[in-house]
Amino acid sequence: MKQGSGLVKIRGWCYRQRSSNKFIFIVLRDSTDIIQCVVSKDKVNEKTWKDADKVRIEFSLEIEGTIKEDKRAPTGYEIDVSKLHIVAPSETFPITKDKSTEFLLDVRHLWLRSRQMTDIMKVRSAVLEACNEFFKKEGYYETAPPIITGSSCEGGSTQFEIKYFDEKAYLSQSAQLYLEALIFSLEKVWALTPSFRAEPSRTQRHLAEYWHCEMEAAWMGFEGLQKFEEEMISFICQYAAKNAGGQLSALGRKPADLKKVKPPFPRLSYDEALKELAKKGHKVKWGEDLRTEEERLLTEKLTKPLIVTQYPKAIKAFYMKEDPKNAKLVLCNDVLAPEGFGEIIGGSERETDNAKLIKRLKEAGESTKDYQWYLDLRKYGSVPHSGFGLGIERVVRWLCKLESIRDAIPFPRTIARKYP
């Protein structure tokens, strides 16, 4: 939609409509915004007036007219219509006010037209653009790891099994193991892929299919990893504030608050986090993972993300490097979004000692046969390396202050839903 003063031609969908004897007001929506179009009976021919009178919500239209500034109009401009063409009519649109969340999920294909979903999808697009720009700026190569895999990265219990010709295979939970192979030629790599988790839980932050932005870098240690995570999250926040500020404001997130998300972020070791929680009267037994409730307690008053480091080895994935200062811990970190939105990044320095990897794979009940290729990587010129995975929908949920992660993706897949 072009705005200015003068003659304009626009096309879009009817968002709202009301009429009187002399005027028909059509609010037209396109991908950029909405604008009020006024059809005056005494300024248009009879056919145009009759057509305008037929227009209902979601009719697709082409309109010609003169645009002028009007402070009373919803977006500050108004079009005085001279020509109107109905491209296609619409049956009575099923979405009206006060529909239930479940109903809106059933008609997701139509609900995506709402202002709210449009705003969220624009923020999402800005987040993806930011990831691209950040990696480009840092000299990373974008790569294409497989989605069908024979090995588990994050534990067998949440893997989707598929029939692969006469064998079993799985949908990828993470591109990490393949990115680790790629660092030996490209050194700094990243990928954006769908990841799949057969999460049996119905939560506000788990999807069965989500978009996973992952990086891996040769020669990067644990401290370097955390600096990189801080820089990247800050970059995404600055980028979204700058390029999707209007949408964020409409969703209740002040862009100015995102601009303040700059390094350094507060950090706590797992041990320190347990002490913080105890101070708040919340006891967690050493060795237990931090759940949604604990993550909320640690971050609800923060304005920047919190990095929690060095979790117990026994509750973390096999590939995480043992802490050289304490063999019970691993050099991993979870980045928790502020305001209780929970984990947005999981990362670690990687274990390079094959004996340790084999021991941990066995403890996890995995067959080392499926990981021969991965173990090979440590045999031929192994180097220290680190990487992380960032959940795109987790970040969008935080930035847009969404109650549920389902609204951060156009067609959410959860245990309860694969339609539409």
Q: Can residue 245 be called a binding residue for ligand NSS (CB under 6 A)?
A: no
Whether 119 contacts 250, CB under 8 Å? yes
Q: Can residue 305 be called a binding residue for ligand NSS (CB under 6 A)?
A: no
Cα separation, 104 vs 91, in Å, equals 18
Could you say which of 65, 255, 305, 387 contacts ligand NSS (CB under 6 A)? 387
Cα separation, 36 vs 16, in Å, equals 9
Encoded tokens for 385:
């390396």
Cα separation, 268 vs 352, in Å, equals 25
Q: Which is nearer to ligand NSS, 29 or 212 (CB)?
A: 212
Q: Can residue 210 be called a binding residue for ligand NSS (CB under 6 A)?
A: yes
3-state secondary structure of 314: helix
Q: Can residue 78 be called a binding residue for ligand NSS (CB under 6 A)?
A: no
**DSSP strands (E only) in 145-187:** 148-149, 161-164, 167-171
Q: Can residue 213 be called a binding residue for ligand NSS (CB under 6 A)?
A: no
Could you say which of 214, 229, 323, 349 contacts ligand NSS (CB under 6 A)? 214
Q: Can residue 391 be called a binding residue for ligand NSS (CB under 6 A)?
A: yes
Give the contact letters, 340-379, x = binds to ligand NSS (CB under 6 A), - = no: ---xxxxx--------------------------------
Find the shortest distance in angstroms from Cβ 353 to ligand NSS: 18
Whether 196 contacts 400, CB under 8 Å? no
Other C-beta atoms closer than 10 Å to the C-beta of 206 total: 20
Could you say which of 123, 394, 398, 402 contacts ligand NSS (CB under 6 A)? 394
- Tell me which residue of 400, 379, 415, 371 sits closest to 176, measured CA to CA: 371
Q: Can residue 153 be called a binding residue for ligand NSS (CB under 6 A)?
A: yes
Q: Can residue 230 be called a binding residue for ligand NSS (CB under 6 A)?
A: no
Q: Which is nearer to ligand NSS, 48 or 174 (CB)?
A: 174
Across 359-377, b (16+ Cβ under 10 Å) vs e yields: ebbeeeebeeeebeebeeb
Using the rule CB under 6 A, give the single segment among 93-101, 209-217, 219-227, 241-249 that binds ligand NSS.
Answer: 209-217
Strand pairing report for 141-142 and 188-196: parallel
Find the shortest distance in angstroms from Cβ 207 to ligand NSS: 4
Residues 161-200 that bind ligand NSS (CB under 6 A): 174, 176, 197, 199
User: Which uninterrupted H or E stretch holds 221?
Assistant: none
> Which residues would be at the binding site for ligand NSS (CB under 6 A)?
153-154, 174, 176, 197, 199, 206-207, 210, 212, 214, 343-347, 387-391, 393-394
